[in-house]
């Protein structure tokens, strides 16, 4: 995917995620099974995941190279990145630390959804300022996947919203 395709998919996937959550009845928004997150917690988790990516895209490129180095391999395609993420999850990988969501009240749903869409918009604005080359020559750390190129991190961010929307549907018995 090129930069513009990435921006389009970021917006589409996160908007679809938010639209689905906003349409849920209150009881389904709060519903969760043991050891599973509610839809509200899924929303909080996605917000927690997008926030540091957005922040990192606001840093000067030299800082990213200073802190995280430069790639020592070719970047993965979208499908390759998704396959690697799924294999890490299958091997027991899970969210940790600051990415574990807190319970979300129904009264907080709309504000959190709006905040997520604004954060994704800010990320897209910053991505639009990057060159195609920058997306492939700068790295960011991912807690489960290790160092990723900026493009790979965006691929992950695109897929992550899709993945958690599918989990919500599965948890509600809609798959």
Taking only the tens of pLDDT, the chain with its 175 residues reads 999 999 999 999 999 999 999 999 999 999 988 889 999 999 999 999 999 999 999 999 999 999 999 999 999 999 999 999 999 999 999 999 999 999 999 999 999 999 999 999 999 999 999 999 999 999 999 999 999 999 999 999 999 999 999 999 999 988 7
Q: Helix, strand or coil for residue 130? A: coil
Please name every residue paired with 142 in a beta bridge, in sequence order, or none if there are none.
146
pTM of the model: 0.96
Q: Who contacts 120 (Cβ-Cβ below 8 Å, separation ≥6)?
A: 10, 11, 14, 50, 54
**CATH homologous superfamily for 3-171?**
dinb family like domain (1.20.120.450)
The DSSP-derived string for 70-111 is --SSPPPPHHHHHHHHHHHHHTT----GGGSPPP--GGGHHH
């Amino acid at each position: 995917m090129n930069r513009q395709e990435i921006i389009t998919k970021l917006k589409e996937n996160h908007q679809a995620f938010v639209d689905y959550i906003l349409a849920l009845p209150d009881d389904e928004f709060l519903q969760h099974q043991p050891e599973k997150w509610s839809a509200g917690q899924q929303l909080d988790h996605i917000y927690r995941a997008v926030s540091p990516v957005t922040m990192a895209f606001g840093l000067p490129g030299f800082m990213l190279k200073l802190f995280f180095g430069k790639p020592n391999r070719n970047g993965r395609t979208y499908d390759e990145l998704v396959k690697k993420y799924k294999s890490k999850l299958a091997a027991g990988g899970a969210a940790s630390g600051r990415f574990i969501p807190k319970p979300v009240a129904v009264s907080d749903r709309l504000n959190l959804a709006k905040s997520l869409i604004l954060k994704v918009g800010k990320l897209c604005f910053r991505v639009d300022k990057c060159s195609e080359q920058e997306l492939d020559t700068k790295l960011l750390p991912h807690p489960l996947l290790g160092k990723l190129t900026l493009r790979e991190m965006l691929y992950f961010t695109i897929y992550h919203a899709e993945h958690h929307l599918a989990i919500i549907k599965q948890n509600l018995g809609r798959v």
